[in-house]
């Protein structure tokens, strides 16, 4: 299991090859997460109404769908976490992979829709500060 991103040494450090090999799995997991989030957004008003009426029996026809979506999101985030990948933004599909570059841990940075990993950034920065892999450190 990967540790919190603020620890100095992650449990897993990826090679570029290993990280790129995980892209198909990440695409699937992130797609399921995004679909689940869409359901949550579509049903939230109905669920809020039911929650407000919980002391009087509450309930809603969308309740089971809402709960299944929560489970789907949780299971897929857990699966990504178990791979050692850090999810930075579900909506954009941003993921980071601990990587050894010039003797220090940095993050390989990948975004859903990209065919392969071509970017990296320091562990203290993010997507907006990413640099091309073939560029200077």
Beta carbons within 8 Å of 84's beta carbon, 6+ residues apart: 1, 2, 10, 11, 12, 14, 97, 98
The residue ranges of every structural domain in the chain are: 7-22+86-137, 24-84
Q: Is the pTM of this model over 0.95?
A: no
Within 8 A by CB and 6+ apart from 52, the residues are 58
Contact between 108 and 16 (Cβ < 8 Å): yes
pLDDT tens for the chain, residues 1 to 137:
444 445 567 889 999 999 999 999 999 999 999 999 999 998 888 877 776 766 666 677 777 888 899 999 999 999 999 999 999 999 999 999 999 999 999 999 999 999 999 999 999 999 999 999 986 65
In angstroms, the CA 123 to CA 8 distance is: 9
């Amino acid at each position: 299991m990967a540790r919190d991103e603020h620890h100095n040494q992650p449990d897993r450090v990826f090679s570029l090859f290993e990280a790129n090999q995980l892209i198909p799995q990440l695409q699937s997991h992130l797609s399921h997460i995004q679909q689940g989030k869409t359901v949550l957004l579509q049903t939230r008003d109905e669920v809020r109404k039911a929650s407000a009426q919980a002391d009087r029996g509450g309930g809603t026809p969308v309740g089971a769908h809402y709960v299944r979506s929560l489970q789907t999101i949780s299971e897929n985030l857990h699966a990504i976490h178990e791979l050692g990948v850090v999810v930075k933004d579900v909506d954009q599909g941003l993921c980071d992979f601990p990587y050894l570059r010039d003797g220090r841990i940095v993050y390989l940075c990948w975004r859903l829709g990209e065919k392969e990993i071509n970017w990296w950034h320091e562990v203290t920065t993010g997507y907006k500060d990413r640099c091309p892999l073939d560029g200077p450190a």
